[in-house]
Amino acid sequence: MTRFLFHFFNILLEICCLLLSPLILIFIGIRRYWGALNFKATDSEKGIMIHSASVGEVNAVRPLVKALQEKYPRLKIVMTCTTLSGLEQAKTLHIPAYLSVLDLPWLRKKQLQSINPQIIIIVETEIWPNLLYQAKKQGIKIAFVNARLSEKSFNRFKKWKKLLHFLEEPIKIIMAQTQEDTVRFRNLFTVPVLYVGNLKFALQLPQYDELELRMKYGYKPEDFIICFGSSRPGEEALLKNILPELKLRIPELKLVIAIRHPYRIGEVRDLFPEAAIYSELQENVNDSGDVLLIDTIGHLNEFYAICDLAIVGGSFFDFGGHNPLEPAFYGKPIIMGPYHSSCAGSVQELLSFNAILISDSQNIKRDIIYLYQNPEKRKEMGENARACIERNRNALENHLRGLEPWITA
């Protein structure tokens, strides 16, 4: 019965796509998503296909890609991504990368035939019915890595448990981020599910000379630098409102705001007309002023490395939060808002180490001043953050061990 319903649904889906094709083409054109219809891709020659959703998943799997290249140098690796931003990030891995096609039977069939992998490594929670079914049809193994499943997603997927059991045949292993994720996946699938840790902890970030980097940007050793990373709409205004009192309480304050989406620089600059703009600085600048706006991708880690306090954005309003592990890597005390569903596992791990302070828009000013006035607490939180990263470094090795039985070199 499940098989019949699956094929019946696919027929209805293709009929709807045919009838609505003009609207679908317009939508795809507006979103510049033409690659979702292009099934042609690099032939991996029975290598490895990695499928991820967006930027966060690509960055999480980055150390695994490098480790697979070192362990299996003869195997080609090809990546597909669900989003354009993910695709751009995937290209920085220097492997062939393509948009994932729409989850339609003939498109999935053609793209998998084109890439021709022996195994598909799916990052986190990309459960697509026709991807699973076509892998089954073509005899391609599937492994889920860094898998996570929120309670909300679990409740949605469990309604389709019979369908998942019908589609799970090619899935050889699911490697979950947390114990909670492990339990949820075991309640959905009958395949082996292992708790292996979060790949995001396997960070490979550059090391900096903090004093030298401060001098480069004109900061003094005694300056108290707050780096607000990956800010989203509303958060810059929040900072603007509390900045006058922060300056009174923290005379040596220097504020760095790294905008998550640089195209918003105009509206953020209107809030901080006195601010220096990173892209306008000269290469050998020696004065970034009291407020610096980072409008260029790829430099946030420099400022996490030199700051005295890191605040992770996208979390004070409902954007899901951004990765707090980068400032943790540099041993910095971290403040984050209450909206961090996108990185809940990382936040919980940092909380278990007393390495992060969860605040909100009403209390952020108080919490900043508290940490400024308590340097020993900042030092303790920073050391705890480093310890948290170190403890979870084995996630990469765990993933490699889990994949090894299913990859033929």
Residue 379 within any structural domain of the chain? yes
Residue 30: the pLDDT is: 74
Based on its alpha-carbon atoms, the radius of gyration of the chain, rounded to whole angstroms, reads 23
Task: Dig out the tokens for 95 from the structure.
Answer: 């492997």
- For the segment 123-147, the average pLDDT, to the nearest whole number, is 95
Residue 289: the pLDDT is: 82
Q: Of 162, 196, 230, which marks where a domain is finished?
A: 196
Backbone dihedral region for residue 126 (phi beyond 0: left; psi -120 to 50: alpha; all else: beta): beta
Which are the contacts of 87, defined by CB distance < 8 A and separation ≥ 6? 35, 81, 97, 98, 99
Between 17 and 182, where is the model more confident?
Answer: 182
Residue 38: the pLDDT is: 83
Contact yes or no for 308/226 (Cβ under 8 A): yes
Confidence band of 283 (pLDDT split at 50, 70, 90): low
Q: Is the pLDDT of residue 331 over 70?
A: yes
Q: Is the pLDDT of residue 61 over 90?
A: yes
Residue 169: the pLDDT is: 95
Residue 346 has, within 13 A of its CA and on its CB side, a CA count of 30
Same domain, 116 and 260: no
Same domain, 378 and 232: yes
Residue 201 within any structural domain of the chain? no
Between 288 and 194, where is the model more confident?
Answer: 194
- For the segment 196-218, the average pLDDT, to the nearest whole number, is 90
Residue 326: the pLDDT is: 94
Residue 6: the pLDDT is: 77
Q: Is the pLDDT of residue 284 over 90?
A: no
Task: Dig out the tokens for 333 from the structure.
Answer: 């005390």
Same domain, 273 and 336: yes
- For the segment 157-163, the average pLDDT, to the nearest whole number, is 90
Confidence band of 406 (pLDDT split at 50, 70, 90): very high
Q: What CA–CA distance (Å, rounded) separates 75 from 358?
A: 44
Same domain, 276 and 300: yes
**Weakest-pLDDT range from 72-81, 195-204, 400-409:** 195-204
Same domain, 127 and 235: no
CATH number at 363 reads 3.40.50.2000
Confidence band of 319 (pLDDT split at 50, 70, 90): very high
Q: What CA–CA distance (Å, rounded) separates 170 from 177?
A: 21
- H-run or E-run covering 303: helix 300-306
Return the number of other C-beta atoms located less than 10 Å from residue 185's C-beta.
24
Residue 253: the pLDDT is: 97
Residue 19: the pLDDT is: 67
Q: How deeply is 204 buried, as exposed, middle or buried, from its count of CB atoms within 10 A (0-12, 13-18, 19+)?
A: exposed
Confidence band of 355 (pLDDT split at 50, 70, 90): very high
Residue 116 within any structural domain of the chain? yes
Residue 177 within any structural domain of the chain? yes
Between 282 and 325, where is the model more confident?
Answer: 325
Which are the contacts of 224, defined by CB distance < 8 A and separation ≥ 6? 250, 252, 253, 254, 308, 309, 372
Same domain, 58 and 109: yes
Q: Is the pLDDT of residue 185 over 70?
A: yes
Which are the contacts of 371, defined by CB distance < 8 A and separation ≥ 6? 309, 333, 335, 357, 377, 378, 381
Range of the structural domain that residue 153 is part of: 34-196
Same domain, 344 and 287: yes
Max intra-chain CA distance, the chain: 71
Its pTM stands at 0.72
Between 2 and 210, where is the model more confident?
Answer: 210
- For the segment 141-169, the average pLDDT, to the nearest whole number, is 92
Q: Of 196, 225, 250, which marks where a domain is finished?
A: 196
Angle at which helix 235-249 crosses helix 364-373, to 10 degrees, equals: 40
Instruction: Specify the residue for token string 């708790």.
Output: 195
Residue 6 within any structural domain of the chain? no
Between 280 and 191, where is the model more confident?
Answer: 191
Residue 7 within any structural domain of the chain? no
Q: What CA–CA distance (Å, rounded) separates 129 from 292?
A: 46
Same domain, 189 and 50: yes
- For the segment 356-377, the average pLDDT, to the nearest whole number, is 98
- For the segment 240-263, the average pLDDT, to the nearest whole number, is 96
Q: What CA–CA distance (Å, rounded) separates 408 from 119?
A: 9
Same domain, 154 and 263: no
Q: Is the pLDDT of residue 31 over 80?
A: no
Same domain, 369 and 279: yes
Q: Is the pLDDT of residue 11 over 80?
A: no
Same domain, 217 and 159: no
- H-run or E-run covering 261: none
Confidence band of 342 (pLDDT split at 50, 70, 90): confident
Q: Is the pLDDT of residue 180 over 80?
A: yes
Residue 218 within any structural domain of the chain? yes
DSSP 151-218: HHHHHHHGGGHHHHHHH-TTEEEEEESSHHHHHHHHTT-SS-EEE---GGGS-------HHHHHHHTT
Could you give the number of structural domains in the chain?
Answer: 2
Q: Is the pLDDT of residue 171 over 90?
A: yes
> In 232-361, at which residue ranges do the beta strands (DSSP E only) sit?
253-259, 276-277, 291-294, 309-312, 334-336, 356-358
Q: Is the pLDDT of residue 116 over 90?
A: yes
Q: Of 147, 167, 196, which marks where a domain is finished?
A: 196
Q: What CA–CA distance (Å, rounded) separates 141 from 73?
A: 20
Angle at which helix 364-373 crosses helix 375-391, to 10 degrees, equals: 100
Q: What CA–CA distance (Å, rounded) separates 308 from 296?
A: 21
Residue 26: the pLDDT is: 75
What order of strands is seen across the sheet that includes strand 77-81? 97-99, 77-81, 48-52, 119-123, 141-147, 171-176, 193-195
Residue 22: the pLDDT is: 76
pLDDT digits (tens, 9 = 90+) for 64-86: 999 999 999 999 999 999 988 88
Residue-averaged pLDDT of the chain: 91
Residue 287: the pLDDT is: 66
Residue 23: the pLDDT is: 74
Residue 111: the pLDDT is: 97
Residue 299 within any structural domain of the chain? yes
Same domain, 216 and 189: no
Contact yes or no for 398/182 (Cβ under 8 A): no
Q: Is the pLDDT of residue 175 over 90?
A: yes
Instruction: Specify the residue for token string 């690099």.
Output: 42
